[in-house]
């Protein structure tokens, strides 16, 4: 069977819809969801994203399975979980049999392109028309606008509908772009899940500048589509990716790591100002876009579910629970540290499982802080290190510094009452029935995924020869 025939069988073409929508999907990089105004940002400026949400739909409960760039993107583009694609570790590639949105949209007449950051593979699984950006030290927005314009113009001239992903590097270190002058480090308000240090404030100025630069791209792409008369026939989506490289976000299963900002605009379909409270997985994006384009994936094609009905304003429950994971494997400087994390979450609760809790966790942004805790002569200049310095003069911050590298076997957070995950309720008698139910559901799911012993899973990943 040819690849094209296989793709057609996977994406059963429905009766063709008049005027298939174009699709433009803007993806950020390591961007905390709560830096967007619509999600309660204290200081960061995102007027274009906020306006898009006002004109379209805001998702309150969208999550990825792994808070790292490569697993996130392969889940997004394939509609398959990282357990299925074999991409639990960062810098990993999907199993060769993996198929992606390219395979599903091309038989429906679409050209499918990716501009900017890729971080997926192999090419056979993700055969986008691809153009890489330039150096991270330069603002990539001009490149994106020019390349996107050329691609859109070509598709329009050919009469092809298009699906265009623009993957920005903004908000991923090193932080180099954006206008920092609009932010004053002294006036920033620090969220309670972080410790207030000069180093954090300095980094946040750089970080917020890049987020605002990404927001500027959102506004400029909107103008480009309007100028071409395509705005009313385009599904326009913006996503924050996973959380930032600051503590308790990326490289964790905490809310700041797995919780994604997601807004969508689709004229005459999405009701302006809509807010979605249902649990949405990144794996749901591909089947949704394929169905919107006039196709339909079979259940065996992907792990996600289409939420097209939600976009159309109908009630739809997709998932009672969502699941997530973390592995140190293949993170620079940490490959040999065995500390897997798994999580199950409902709309209101998050239960985190740390099977190797008697040992320590770390990642590339926490290693210097760990060295400082073990040796008082070590000096660090990053954010986590500044927390250790603060602890030496202010013992009241011990709990957050301890949490950098030490986690209990289970953590339970009531997100409605404690959105910053500051109170572990695992031993609260009030929640014991919820704890037992979520534990049972989590371990049943891990067994189904072949991951009933995450420590063994991580050890087996260490034996893999990564490219």
pLDDT digits (tens, 9 = 90+) for 7-55: 444 444 443 344 699 999 999 999 999 999 999 998 999 999 999 999 9
Q: Are residues 432 and 304 in the same domain?
A: no
Q: Are residues 412 and 306 in the same domain?
A: no
pLDDT for 337: 82
Residue 385 domain flag: no
Q: Are residues 144 and 283 in the same domain?
A: yes
Residue 246 has pLDDT above 80, yes or no: yes
pLDDT band, very low/low/confident/very high, at 443 (cuts 50, 70, 90): very high
Contacts of 109 (CB under 8 A, 6+ apart): 20, 160, 161
Question: How does pLDDT run across 60-92, given as a tens digit for each residue?
Answer: 999 999 999 999 999 999 999 999 999 999 889
pLDDT for 378: 94
Q: Are residues 197 and 313 in the same domain?
A: yes
Residue 388 domain flag: no
Q: Are residues 240 and 302 in the same domain?
A: yes
Residue 332 has pLDDT above 80, yes or no: no
Residue 260 domain flag: yes
Residue 389 domain flag: no
Q: Considering the chain, what is the average pLDDT of its residues?
A: 93
What ranges make up the beta strands (E) of 79-208? 111-116, 129-131, 162-167
Q: Give the end of a domain, one of 297, 319, 341.
A: 319
pLDDT for 61: 98
Q: Are residues 309 and 333 in the same domain?
A: no
Q: Are residues 41 and 77 in the same domain?
A: yes
Question: What interhelical angle do 198-227 and 141-158 show, nearest 10?
Answer: 20
Number of structural domains (the chain) is: 2
Identify the CATH number of the domain in which residue 73 sits: 3.40.720.10
Q: How far apart are CA 160 and CA 236, in angstroms?
A: 17
* Pairing mode of beta strands 341-345, 129-131: unpaired
Residue 377 domain flag: no
Q: Are residues 287 and 355 in the same domain?
A: no
Look up the domain containing 225 and give its range.
Answer: 3-12+20-319
pLDDT for 15: 38
Q: Are residues 124 and 265 in the same domain?
A: yes
pLDDT for 301: 94
pLDDT band, very low/low/confident/very high, at 114 (cuts 50, 70, 90): very high
Q: Are residues 93 and 39 in the same domain?
A: yes
Residue 393 domain flag: no
């Amino acid at each position: 069977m040819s690849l094209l025939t296989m793709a057609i069988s996977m994406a059963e073409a429905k009766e063709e819809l008049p005027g298939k929508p174009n699709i433009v999907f803007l993806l950020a990089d390591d961007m905390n969801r709560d830096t967007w105004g619509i999600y309660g940002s204290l200081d960061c400026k995102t007027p274009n994203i906020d306006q898009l949400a006002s004109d379209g739909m805001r998702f309150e409960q969208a999550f990825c399975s792994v808070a790292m760039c490569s697993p996130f993107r392969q889940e997004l583009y394939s509609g398959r979980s990282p357990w299925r694609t074999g991409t639990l570790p960062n810098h990993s590639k999907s199993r060769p049999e993996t198929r992606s949105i390219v395979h599903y949209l091309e038989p429906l007449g679409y050209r499918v392109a990716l501009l900017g950051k890729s971080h997926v593979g192999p090419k056979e699984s993700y055969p986008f028309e691809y153009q890489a950006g330039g150096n991270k030290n330069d603002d990539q927005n001009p490149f994106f606008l020019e390349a996107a314009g050329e691609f859109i113009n070509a598709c329009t001239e050919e009469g092809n509908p298009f699906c265009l992903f623009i993957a920005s590097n903004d908000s991923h270190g090193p932080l180099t772009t954006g206008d920092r002058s609009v932010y004053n480090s002294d006036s920033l308000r620090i969220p309670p899940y972080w410790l207030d240090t000069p180093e954090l404030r300095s980094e946040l100025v750089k970080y917020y500048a890049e987020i605002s630069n990404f927001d500027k791209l959102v506004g400029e792409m909107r103008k480009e589509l309007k100028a071409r008369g395509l705005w009313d026939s385009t599904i326009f989506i913006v996503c924050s990716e996973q959380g930032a490289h600051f503590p308790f976000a990326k490289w964790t299963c905490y809310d700041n790591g797995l919780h994604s900002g997601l807004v969508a605009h689709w004229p005459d379909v999405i009701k302006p100002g809509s807010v979605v409270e249902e649990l949405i997985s990144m794996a749901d994006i591909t089947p949704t876009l394929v169905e919107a384009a006039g196709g339909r994936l079979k259940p065996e094609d992907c792990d996600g579910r289409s939420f097209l009905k939600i976009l159309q304003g109908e009630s739809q429950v997709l998932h009672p629970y969502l699941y997530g994971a973390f592995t140190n494997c293949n993170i620079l400087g940490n490959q040999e540290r065995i500390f897997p994390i798994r999580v199950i979450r409902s709309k209101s609760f998050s239960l985190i499982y740390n099977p190797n809790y008697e040992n320590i966790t770390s990642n590339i942004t926490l290693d210097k802080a760990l060295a400082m805790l073990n040796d008082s002569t070590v000096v660090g200049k990053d954010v986590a290190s500044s927390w250790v310095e603060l602890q030496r003069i202010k013992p009241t911050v011990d709990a957050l510094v301890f949490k950098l590298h030490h986690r209990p076997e289970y953590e339970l957070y009531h997100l409605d009452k404690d959105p910053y995950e500051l109170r572990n309720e695992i031993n609260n008698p009030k929640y014991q029935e919820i704890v037992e139910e979520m534990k049972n559901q989590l371990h049943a799911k891990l067994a189904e995924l072949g991951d009933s012993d995450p420590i063994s899973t991580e050890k087996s990943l260490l034996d893999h020869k990564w490219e």
